[in-house]
Amino acid sequence: MTELLYQTDAYMKEFDARVTAVEGSAVALDRSAFYPGGGGQPNDVGTLSMGDRTWRVLKVRKQGEDVWHTLDAEDVPPVGSEVHGTLDWNRRHKLMRTHTALHVLCGVVWRDYGASVTGGNMEPLRARMDFEFESMRKELVQEIEEKVNAEVAAAHDIRVKILPREEAFAIPDLIRTKINLLPEGIQQVRTVEIVGLDLQADGGTHVANTTEVGRIRVLDYKSKGKINKRIEVEVTD
């Protein structure tokens, strides 16, 4: 079982860990700050090192309770090794800004238009999000962009909590998200709140304050069906 360090400290760039299992060129660790991907946020990359040897971490994935790190060579550190992990922080921080930007977008669109999200995906500084909108016009998109940037500039803090299942299910704001689809067995729910704007059950990594996001620009919008409209955004400094 891997302790998910990124869940409680999104700003951890380096960490020490022990190899608990090996499978081909992949190693499982007892703790990891590498995000394994999920919820539209891609996995982290970076390096693992032991002594004077360094491996590139090409891919990270979660399987059951373990986080697996695929390395760039077949001769990987054996079970029991103490290793040092280093994230590609430049890339991860861009993903944190982008991910947080999407929460601001979601929060504004829900608050002012009552439209919920049907899907989304991101890469560093680029993202798309699908909403239940019947129609989308240029003026509306511009209005959304202005409102989103006003909320970013309003310096909202982002708070992360890990709550017992019952407590999380009792929060009315979480009902509109997919919290009710969480599997029966899950005893704890991680919540991410943009204070005063948005609250979601979420496993990803985010910045600590909206001012860290930068600016959001809508690049494009298109219809993806009768009630599905896609907004594509870019995050800039």
How far from 106 is each of 57, 114, 197, 198, 228, CA to CA, in Å? Answer: 32, 10, 9, 8, 14
Question: Is 198 a binder of Zn ion (CB under 5 A)?
Answer: no
**212: burial class by Cβ within 10 Å (0-12, 13-18, 19+)?**
middle
Choose one: 17-25, 104-112, 143-151, 195-203; the region binding Zn ion (CB under 5 A).
195-203
**Smallest gap from residue 213 Cβ to Zn ion (A):** 12
Q: How far is the CB of 203 from Zn ion (least distance, A)?
A: 8
- Span of 17-25, 79-87, 163-171, 197-205 interacting with Zn ion by CB under 5 A: 197-205
40 Rama sector, left if φ>0, alpha if ψ -120 to 50, beta otherwise: left
Least separation in angstroms between residue 16's CB and Zn ion is 27
Q: By CB under 5 A, is residue 202 in contact with Zn ion? A: yes
* Burial degree of 137 (CB within 10 A; 0-12, 13-18, 19+): exposed
Q: Which of 204, 213, 229, 233 binds Zn ion (CB under 5 A)?
A: 204
Question: What is the nearest approach in angstroms of Zn ion to the Cβ of residue 137?
Answer: 28
Of 85 and 204, which has the nearer Cβ to Zn ion?
A: 204
Interface with Zn ion by CB under 5 A: which residues?
202, 204
